[in-house]
């Protein structure tokens, strides 16, 4: 990886402010129901690369948004992401005992608590997006809430999970695999960038359309890289049970394309994402760097 220290320090500052904003918005463990609030904090704080928050801020900067405003979208999307991991790890889903190197939520607490943690984190995301004044035009803010709801629901992330479940033991084509990932992880990555962009006011030169194109390519690239890492890494490095997709006979980009072509695809998606942004130079700097960070992590 050859990323400037400038990007590294920007990313670190976003990760820190995201953590602080989440810490502030999650109810304190001293508030009843205490155990639920403790478990919500356990499932959300202190972990992850905060890729969705980074995307929101990179896209927000591109549209001239205030960082404090972007924070609200960034943490709303991170809360939806955190809830999906908690539910996804449950025994009736992926049955995963480890998450970010720690016991997953239902192992640390219990299944009922994990179920409620996910449910309450989703509500909290919409509470945050509807509470603050995110834009001078409230219609615009309603649109942002609607985008997050659609991206989270049955035609977005939750739908992708359902397609994923149905695919276990099936032989999928690359198109079918792509359809699954566009929903399962792509929808939320896309909306993270879109909400970041919508937090701003500079929409010159079809910036939202550029962000949309970028985020869709990066969302897919993210999954291809995940599959590559899952095939290559061992459990210790990854912080979650490695090779589990292959073990459970789940189709991945590596099982369908092989490792070499999967890496080529990640590179192609990266180039497709950043190509239209080159004309914008400095304003799109973080988006370009972030694309590199996402597609080149680990190899």
Contact positions vs a second copy (CB under 8 A): 27, 31-33, 35-37, 40, 83-84, 87, 90, 92-93, 110-113, 115-116, 118-120, 122-124, 126-127, 130-131, 137-139, 141-143, 145-146, 148-150, 152-156, 158-159, 161-163, 165-166, 179
Nearer Cβ to a second copy (151/266): 151
Closest approach of Cβ 22 to a second copy, in Å? 14
β-bridge pairing 98-99 and 102-103: antiparallel
Give the whole-angstrom CA distance, residue 93 versus residue 195.
29
Question: Which residues are within 8 A (CB) of 21 and not within 5 positions of it... i.e. 6 or more apart?
Answer: 71, 72, 74, 75
Q: How far is the CB of 172 from a second copy (least distance, A)?
A: 13
Of 3 and 163, CB closest to a second copy: 163
Q: How far is the CB of 88 from a second copy (least distance, A)?
A: 9
Those residues with Cβ within 8 angstroms of residue 141's Cβ, 6 or more apart along the chain or in another chain: 129, 130, 133, 134, 135
Q: For residue 157, how many other CB atoms are within 10 A of its CB?
A: 25
- Find the shortest distance in angstroms from Cβ 158 to a second copy: 4
CB of 130 to a second copy, least distance (A): 4
Q: Kindly tell me which of 3 and 115 has the beta carbon lying closer to a second copy.
A: 115
As a whole number of angstroms, the distance between CA 108 and CA 295 comes to 32
**CA-to-CA dists, residue 60 to 54, 88, 205, 223, 247, angstroms:** 10, 29, 15, 23, 39
Residue 112 or 260: which CB sits closer to a second copy? 112
């Amino acid at each position: 990886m050859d990323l400037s220290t400038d990007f590294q320090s920007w990313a670190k500052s976003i990760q820190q402010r995201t953590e602080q904003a989440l810490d502030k918005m999650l109810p304190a463990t001293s508030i009843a129901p205490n155990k639920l609030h403790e478990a919500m904090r356990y499932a959300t704080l202190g972990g992850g690369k905060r890729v969705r928050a980074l995307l929101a801020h990179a896209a927000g900067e591109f549209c001239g948004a205030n960082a404090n405003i972007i924070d609200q979208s960034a943490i709303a999307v991170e809360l939806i992401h955190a809830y999906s991991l908690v539910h996804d790890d449950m025994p009736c889903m992926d049955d995963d005992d480890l998450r970010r190197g720690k016991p997953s939520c239902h192992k640390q607490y219990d299944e009922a608590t994990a179920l409620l943690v996910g449910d309450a984190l989703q509500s909290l995301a919409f509470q945050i997006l509807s509470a603050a004044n995110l834009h001078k035009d409230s219609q615009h803010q309603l649109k942002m809430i609607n985008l997050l709801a659609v991206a989270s629901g049955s035609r977005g992330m939750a739908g992708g999970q359902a397609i994923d479940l149905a695919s276990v033991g099936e032989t999928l084509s690359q198109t079918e695999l792509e359809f699954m990932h566009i929903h399962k992880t792509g929808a939320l990555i896309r909306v993270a960038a879109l909400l970041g962009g919508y937090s701003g006011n500079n929409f010159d030169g079809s910036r939202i359309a550029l962000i949309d194109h970028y985020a869709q390519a990066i969302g897919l690239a993210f999954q291809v890289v995940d599959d590559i890492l899952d095939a290559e890494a061992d459990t210790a490095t990854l912080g979650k049970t490695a090779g589990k997709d292959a073990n459970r006979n789940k189709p991945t980009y590596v099982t369908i394309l092989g490792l070499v072509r999967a890496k080529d695809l990640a590179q192609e998606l990266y180039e497709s994402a950043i190509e239209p942004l080159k004309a914008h130079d400095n304003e799109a700097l973080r988006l370009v760097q972030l694309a590199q960070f996402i597609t080149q992590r680990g190899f």
